[in-house]
């Protein structure tokens, strides 16, 4: 199954559902950054939630999610867009903790307590900022709290990354359910009961259920109307040109220092690990 997101509403239009399969995207991130099991569970959940949020928002130019926790992973950063592309990294990819008491990868302990920041850049002067305290560092509940508090949209969020014994990722995905204005107490209660009955997300995906199957399972008797399908992928949009501006802003004095020491200036992209080399002449002539 290729990575993709299905957006749907319940038949009555009062519930919106986003269901995503993201295994290849998360596996790509794992290979780029050599991420260990607990860390890839954390990064994979963040990438998945960032992808869905990026597509959900009304056409933002760029969506940035930053999780700053006091756990061993350090900062996690992910950037996505409306086209279903995401890139991301974490400060300390080599983190693998003991399983938590329920036998799951202990993402909450790896992230710790801190804040979740969402920045929506519409290409206008001032981007939209939303900051909420982390609820438990497990990412899903943290995003649910963000949607409910910061965007005033009551939401249930489920995120899952299944790490194989060899450390690779073959199953990953996310499910976000939002209550739209006009939903009745009765409808919300029925939905909550339904969600409580559902098996864990990774169990459903492992059994071969597709995002569309997940939506049908959630909506049940309410029925579902599919609105859109979006292909998802890991993609970095860095380039030589893009790094040149920030590089030149360092100032000629600092650049001269690096060139004298190393003969050239090397810049590494945090998102894809690609290295760019700039010769002295390039930096001089560009500056005019």
The residues binding Zn ion (CB under 5 A) are 236, 238, 269, 271-272, 274
Q: What's the min distance (Å) between Cβ of 189 and Zn ion?
A: 46
Q: What's the min distance (Å) between Cβ of 252 and Zn ion?
A: 26
Can you read off the two tokens belonging to residue 131?
């900051």
Cβ proximity to Zn ion, 180 vs 238, nearer residue = 238
Q: What's the min distance (Å) between Cβ of 269 and Zn ion?
A: 3
- Using CA atoms, how far apart are residues 67 and 75, in angstroms rounded to an integer? 6
Cβ proximity to Zn ion, 32 vs 95, nearer residue = 32
Tokens 């900051």 identify what position?
A: 131
Please enumerate, as own/partner, the contacts of 25-31 that have beta carbons within 8 Å and a separation of 24 or more. Answer: 25/51, 25/86, 25/172, 25/232, 25/233, 25/234, 26/161, 26/169, 26/172, 27/168, 27/169, 27/170, 27/172, 28/233, 28/234, 29/88, 29/89, 29/234, 30/167, 30/168, 30/169
* Pairing label, strands 85-90, 233-234: parallel
Q: What's the min distance (Å) between Cβ of 260 and Zn ion?
A: 27
Please measure the distance between the N-terminal and C-terminal CA atoms of the chain and give it in whole angstroms: 51
DSSP state of 234: E
Q: What's the min distance (Å) between Cβ of 236 and Zn ion?
A: 3
Q: What's the min distance (Å) between Cβ of 280 and Zn ion?
A: 24
Cβ burial 142-158 (10 Å sphere, 16+ → b, else e): bbbbbbbebbebebbbb
3-state SS class at 17: strand
Backbone angles phi, psi at 139, to 5 degrees: 80, -50
- Using CA atoms, how far apart are residues 34 and 215, in angstroms rounded to an integer? 33
Cβ proximity to Zn ion, 176 vs 272, nearer residue = 272
Name residues whose C-beta falls within 8 Å of residue 207's C-beta, 6 or more positions apart in sequence.
Answer: none
Cβ proximity to Zn ion, 245 vs 253, nearer residue = 245
Q: What's the min distance (Å) between Cβ of 46 and Zn ion?
A: 18
Cβ proximity to Zn ion, 156 vs 269, nearer residue = 269
Cβ proximity to Zn ion, 109 vs 247, nearer residue = 247
Cβ proximity to Zn ion, 25 vs 219, nearer residue = 25
């Amino acid at each position: 199954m290729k990575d993709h997101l299905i957006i749907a509403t319940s038949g009555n239009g009062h519930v919106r559902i986003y269901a995503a399969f993201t295994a290849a995207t998360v596996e790509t991130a794992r290979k780029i950054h050599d991420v260990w099991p607990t860390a890839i569970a954390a990064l994979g959940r963040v990438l998945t939630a960032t992808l869905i949020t990026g597509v959900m928002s009304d056409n933002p130019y760029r969506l940035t999610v930053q999780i700053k926790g006091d756990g061993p992973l350090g900062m996690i950063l992910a950037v996505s867009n409306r086209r279903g592309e995401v890139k991301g990294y974490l400060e300390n990819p080599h983190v693998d903790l003991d399983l938590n008491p329920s036998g799951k990868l202990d993402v909450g302990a790896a992230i710790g307590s801190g804040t979740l920041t969402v920045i929506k850049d519409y290409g206008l002067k001032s981007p939209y900022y939303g900051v909420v305290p982390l609820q438990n560092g497990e990412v899903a509940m943290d995003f649910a709290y963000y949607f409910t508090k910061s965007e005033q949209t009551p939401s249930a969020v489920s995120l899952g990354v299944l790490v194989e014994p060899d450390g690779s990722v073959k199953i990953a995905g996310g499910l976000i359910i939002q209550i739209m204005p006009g939903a009745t107490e009765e409808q919300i209660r029925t939905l909550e009961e339904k969600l409580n009955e559902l098996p864990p997300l990774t169990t459903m995906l492992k059994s071969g259920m597709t995002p569309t199957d997940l939506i049908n399972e959630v909506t049940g008797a309410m029925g579902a109307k599919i609105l859109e399908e979006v292909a998802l992928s890991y993609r970095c949009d860095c380039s030589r040109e893009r790094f040149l501006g920030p590089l030149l802003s360092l100032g000629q004095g600092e650049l001269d220092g690096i060139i004298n020491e190393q003969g050239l200036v090397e810049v590494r992209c945090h998102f894809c690990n690609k290295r760019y080399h700039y010769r002295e002449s390039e930096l001089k002539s560009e500056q005019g």
